[in-house]
Amino acid sequence: MSESTSRIVPAVHARRDIAPDPPWETGLAGELRARYAREALLDLLARFANGESEFDAMMRRILWRAIVKRCGDGLRVGCGVVVKHPETFDIGDGVFIGEQACIQGRFDGKCVIGSRTWIGPQSYFDARNLVLGEAVGWGPGAKVLGSQHTGVPVGVPIIETDLDIRPARIEDWADIGVNAVILPGITVGRGAIVGAGAVVVKDVPPFAIVAGVPARVVRSRTGPETGQSRA
């Protein structure tokens, strides 16, 4: 009989204690915000965007706090993260953003990232009207789209037609699988699971598990075989 390779180990990110950021860090972020325009702060951030040292990571955290609308404690930003209009971002405590993620906001938009949310490397967010709840898991390479061209009139290239911006909502505790795609206007319910590579074209009920292209409900996370979900 072959030895099983499966093993259960404790989760790390969501159980990590979130220590308050040192007062000198928050003070420096405030000083930078008061002294420099947003464009200058983005230029400063670019100097540290790709560094792998602890100092680079610290400076990314300080500069994000100086730029974004609100930033909680314990933010960790990986190397090569790309942002657009970060001044519209509202970030909770203990958020992790993986390497080479791209978060594309809009000057008049809204992007909320809830506390303890984990964002995997190389993810993409059309964050013009986006809310990620608390303790959301976002798999590497997963994408959410928040807009699409109307395609009207048909006599011009589609990319010249107006944008239809629709809100995307990922509720608390949801988990989005590797390389999944969430289309514009979709809500993924509380505690739901989106399978790897799924394309979500309609709302996902709370505590449902969906998979496939297009994504369909496979089963619910409630019931006697799994235990009742937490309300």
Number of domains the chain contains: 1
Handedness of CA 156, 157, 159, 160 (dihedral sign): negative
What's the pLDDT at 14? 81
154 domain residue, yes or no: yes
Confidence of residue 2 (pLDDT cuts 50, 70, 90): low
All residues at 6 or more sequence positions from 11 whose CB lies less than 8 Å from its CB, including other chains: none
What is the rounded average pLDDT for all residues in the chain?
Answer: 93
Locate tokens 């807009």: which residue? Answer: 147
What's the pLDDT at 48? 97
For the cut 80, the answer to whether the pLDDT of residue 49 exceeds it is yes
The mean pLDDT value for 45-67 works out to: 97
48 domain residue, yes or no: no
Q: Strand, coil or helix: what is 27?
A: helix
For the cut 50, the answer to whether the pLDDT of residue 224 exceeds it is no
CB 67 within 8 A of CB 84: no
For the cut 90, the answer to whether the pLDDT of residue 98 exceeds it is yes
For the cut 70, the answer to whether the pLDDT of residue 182 exceeds it is yes
**pTM as predicted:** 0.91
> Which structural domain, as residue segments, surrounds residue 80?
68-220
How many residues does the structure list for the chain? Answer: 231
Residue 220's beta-bridge partner residues? 208
Give the C-alpha separation, 196 to 137, whole Å.
Answer: 12
Angle 8-12-16 from CA coordinates, rounded to 5°:
145
Domain at 216, CATH number: 2.160.10.10
47 domain residue, yes or no: no
17 domain residue, yes or no: no
202 domain residue, yes or no: yes
